[in-house]
Amino acid sequence: MAEPESHFATVAPLDPRYGSGCYRRVILLSSPVAGVVEAALEDGPHAFSIRIEHDGERVIGVRAHAERYPLSTCGGAVRPIQALVGASLSGVSLELKRHADPRANCTHLFDLAGWAIAHAARGIPGTRRYDISIPDAIDGRAEARLSLDGAEVLCWLIEHGRILAPAPYAGQQVLGGFTRWASGALRGDELEHALMLARGYFVSLARIFDMQAAGSHPAADHPMPAGSCYSYSPGVVEQAWSLPDNRRDFSASQSDMLRWVRPEE
């Protein structure tokens, strides 16, 4: 997927407030009963949830909900995600792309499904909450932090997209070949945490632009590669319009995040 700077710059001005705020993302993974994982995600542009039912070996049911999204067509991504029925449970979220094409799906809903399935495969009881915070970059530098249940588990010092510290991440470009590197160098929780934080950093870059000032416009105006995700797929992108009023700024606090999530009856 193209970097946010490359496609938002063609339709939106720079946001003069950038530099004083913070990108936040919350990911919730829960195993309320045997054979079920419920997951939810929220950040400035996105709010999705998914319920995965499984028999201990494979996914047997998928129910997805799109609460808030940046393009008018994104809500339709709850349909292609049904292709995950039959997928083998794997403790590595990246394995999900062996069963279904992530580019035919919403990137963020597909990520969430992968983390939910990994949660199920690894038999993690109860609930896990991940919080990502990335203050706006100053002179190209920012610290990206990931916490699990309130305890920090990963922090990167990033300069213009390259991780400076800590080892073994130092020198890696977050948006250039990072997934390939991480899948070979990392394992278990460390791999999942790195993938979560990298995706959060990708989305955080959209804060550079004032999408509200850009107003609603055709998604086709963005020079995104065809088929980058569900909404940029041929036959869908022609109907897609941006929804700038759907964006939220959680810079001050994450206390209002995921309030829309309701447990299944």
Task: Judge whether 55 and 122 are in contact, CB under 8 Å.
Answer: no
* Confidence at 226, pLDDT banded by 50, 70, 90: confident
Average pLDDT, the chain: 93
Q: What is the pLDDT of residue 265?
A: 39
pLDDT of amino acid 2: 44
Query: What's the count of helices (H) and strands (E) in the chain, helices before strands?
Result: 5, 8
* Exposure on the CB side of residue 109, measured as CA atoms within 13 A: 34
How does residue 264 score in pLDDT terms, banded at 50, 70 and 90?
Answer: low
Question: Backbone phi, then psi, for 164, in 5-degree steps?
Answer: -95, -35
Average pLDDT (113-122) is: 96
Can you tell me the mean pLDDT for 42-55?
Answer: 98
Of the pLDDT bands very low, low, confident and very high (cuts 50, 70, 90), residue 114 is very high
pLDDT reading at 1 higher than 70: no
22-31: strand order across its sheet: 59-68, 47-54, 36-43, 22-31, 126-135, 141-148, 151-159, 162-165
Mean pLDDT for the stretch of residues 215-219:
90
Model confidence at 3: pLDDT above 80: no
Q: What percent of the chain has pLDDT over 90?
A: 86
